[in-house]
Amino acid sequence: MLIDWFTVAAQVVNFIILALLLRRFLYRPVAEAIAGRKKKIADELAAADAVRQDAFRVKASYEENYRQLEARREELLAAARQEADAEKALLMAEVRKETEEERHRLVRAFRDDRELIRHQISRMAREEVFSIARKALTDLASLDLEAYIFDEFLKHLGAPGALQEQQYRQMLVAGPQAVVVRTAFGLAPAQQKAASEALTRLLDAGPVTLSFEIRPELICGVEIQVNHHRLEWHISGYLHEIATIDID
């Protein structure tokens, strides 16, 4: 079989031309399209990776912020619990203090009330006892007993102590020599004369002007008033002094 080299050459040329045409109009656009697609995919992957990295960073930042918030929350809760415990302890201390003060106040009030009631009962008892004693002495008083007590009073004036005598003398320094003698019963003239002589000797200030008064409340005793000063010597005064003594 003879080879037609012209045909072969023509076919080779046709093949080359076809290859060039295919490369120019088919392979190159396809290659460029593939390259563009690859580049786009690579860009998208890079963008996705960047987004993923950003997401990781955001996630890490969020987690860090969350941890910080949790830590801060725990700190705040701990501080709040500590403050609440301190406030509770303070309030409990104040409540205990107020309770103790109220207890002491109630105890003091109870003691004061008890003492007041005791004093009132004691005073009422003393007043009742001395009221009965005063009534009994008033019922038992007689002219003979009054006369005896008056004589004893004159003896007492006749022999006073140095201090008493000085006090008696001072009674007449600032005013007139006017003396009032008070008794529960009327005095006989002899008794009035004896009283005048005793007081004149005691006061040693010349004649003394005496006036006599009857006071039934003076139980078995005598009261002498010189100016604004008074000398008392009677059972009623003793009873009054005893009744006012605090025996508690």
**pLDDT tens digits, one per residue of 148-182:** 777 777 777 766 554 455 555 566 554 556 788 88
User: Could you state, in order of their start, the residue ranges of all structural domains in the chain?
Assistant: 44-140, 142-244
Which of the listed CATH numbers 1.10.3470, 3.30.2320, 3.40.1130, 3.90.930 matches domain 142-244? 3.30.2320
The per-residue pLDDT for 33 is: 82
Report the candidate in 245, 167, 173, 178 with the shortest Cα–Cα distance to residue 207.
178
* Helix and strand element counts for the chain (H, E): 6, 4
The per-residue pLDDT for 55 is: 85
For 219, which DSSP code?
A: T
Q: How many other C-beta atoms can be found within 10 angstroms of the C-beta atom of residue 146? A: 22
Q: Does the pTM exceed 0.85? A: no
Using the structure block, give the residue that is written with the tokens 């005893």. Answer: 242
Distances in Å between the Cα of 84 and the Cα atoms of 16, 69, 74, 89, 92 are 95, 21, 15, 8, 12
Report the relative pairing of strands 178-183 and 221-226 from DSSP bridges: antiparallel
